[in-house]
Amino acid sequence: MAYQTFGEIKTFAMDMLSEEEQDEVFQKNLLARWAQRTRDKINLHASFAWKEGSTRLVWPGLSSSDPQQPITSVLYLPEDMDHILSMFPANLSYRESVKIMTRWEFDQDRPGNTIIGARDILVLWGYYGVKRDNPNTAQLTITSDAAGTDSDGLQCFIRGRDADNEATEEVVTLASGTAITTNTFLGGVALDGVTHFSVIKDSLTGLVDAGTVKLFSGGVELESLKASEGEIAKERRRTELYAQIGGPGSYNIAYYRRAKPLTNNADSFLPGLPNEFSDLPEDGIMMHVAMFRKEWETAKVYKMEFNERMVELRAWDNRAPGYKGKFTVRQQASRGNYVRR
């Protein structure tokens, strides 16, 4: 697989700019924007085989006193996981795959709160800015592990629902490494008590050290952000498991990888991108540099080259398993047929 870092892509762009252009690019923070847009364009096609991965995750059991039934378990997926392709209990005595559906499909598929049928179901919710449901109806605590007053002035944003089940948002400012929300946030499974936590980027300016910032509810950690390394937010997909057969426990899953935000120069630019297409990010950067210079004809050429390589990538990715021949750069009328060179 091609391995290029965020820093290498930025250096490639800088080498094409004059000193005067570099000053303007730095001032407007354009390098990160060009890199992010290029990566998103390459990553947009969701079904690339090189984005597939497999792992084992544990869906923990809910508390016996939890009133939310018939939910078996709730798990927020790791940040680099997006769409789950398949899911089987790790216990091989049960080989039936778990049925995967969206929340609205699940609600249409069941009358009231009763699941029909004997097949286990995993329900995919939206994207959340925390790593678990808020377990306690309480005020929230934010801490930083930076020394002394180094993180003073750091601001954090929290969104969720208050004790009256009304939507609420709050911004808090750290002093001596800690802060407590004014609002009381709702606790309980599937109640959206806390849905988002992030560091306000502008508040990082001028700090001695932001440290690692954590959000707590009654001593339970809801999220952790490496603010000193530029990590200001995370995004995870929430899942609910309705498993009358498999129950809580370990499951083997296949999934599509999701590109994490680029924050540090050492971050991998696009994990999994095949070696044969390591030039794609450079094509995208050259297009943005040409547009920055208002060299519209040159930008058009680079855009055509980028799009052509994307066609080649899709053809390469979709070739028949075991086929060892070479293909032209174009699929034939999107019918999956390929012409051999």
278-312 tens-digit pLDDT: 888 888 999 999 999 999 999 999 999 999 998 88
Say if strands 212-217 and 138-144 run parallel, antiparallel, or are unpaired: antiparallel
Q: Are residues 221 and 287 in the same domain?
A: no
Q: Cβ–Cβ contacts within 10 Å for residue 68, how many?
A: 15
Edge to edge, what strands does the sheet with 52-59 contain?
A: 52-59, 249-257, 81-89
Say if strands 212-217 and 220-226 run parallel, antiparallel, or are unpaired: antiparallel
Residues sharing a CB contact under 8 Å with residue 85, sequence separation 6 or more, in sequence order: 52, 253, 254, 255, 256
What tokens were used for 163? 């004790």
Q: Are residues 124 and 245 in the same domain?
A: yes
292-to-280, 281, 285, 295 alpha-carbon distances in Å: 19, 17, 11, 8
Residue listed under structure tokens 């407007």: 28
Q: Are residues 224 and 268 in the same domain?
A: no
Q: Are residues 60 and 104 in the same domain?
A: yes
From 206, 223, 257, give the residue that closes a domain. 257
- Domain carrying residue 292: 6-47+264-317
pLDDT at 275: 85
pLDDT at 20: 84
Q: Are residues 157 and 15 in the same domain?
A: no
- Is there a domain that residue 332 lies in? no
Q: Are residues 143 and 228 in the same domain?
A: yes
Q: Are residues 245 and 101 in the same domain?
A: yes
Of 217, 37, 209, nearest in space to 134 by CA: 217
Q: How far apart are CA 336 and CA 308, in angstroms?
A: 17
pLDDT at 47: 73
- Is there a domain that residue 86 lies in? yes
Q: Are residues 68 and 55 in the same domain?
A: yes
**DSSP letter (8 states) at residue 46:** T
Q: Are residues 250 and 310 in the same domain?
A: no
- Is there a domain that residue 337 lies in? no
Beta bridge partners of 168: 160
- Is there a domain that residue 112 lies in? yes
- Is there a domain that residue 333 lies in? no
pLDDT at 189: 84
Helix (H, G, I), strand (E, B) or coil at 74: strand
Q: Are residues 62 and 210 in the same domain?
A: no
Q: Are residues 92 and 207 in the same domain?
A: no
> Could you give the number of structural domains in the chain?
3
Give the residues of the chain that fall short of pLDDT 50: 1, 112-113, 323-341
- Is there a domain that residue 69 lies in? yes
- Is there a domain that residue 149 lies in? yes
- Is there a domain that residue 276 lies in? yes
Q: Are residues 229 and 286 in the same domain?
A: no
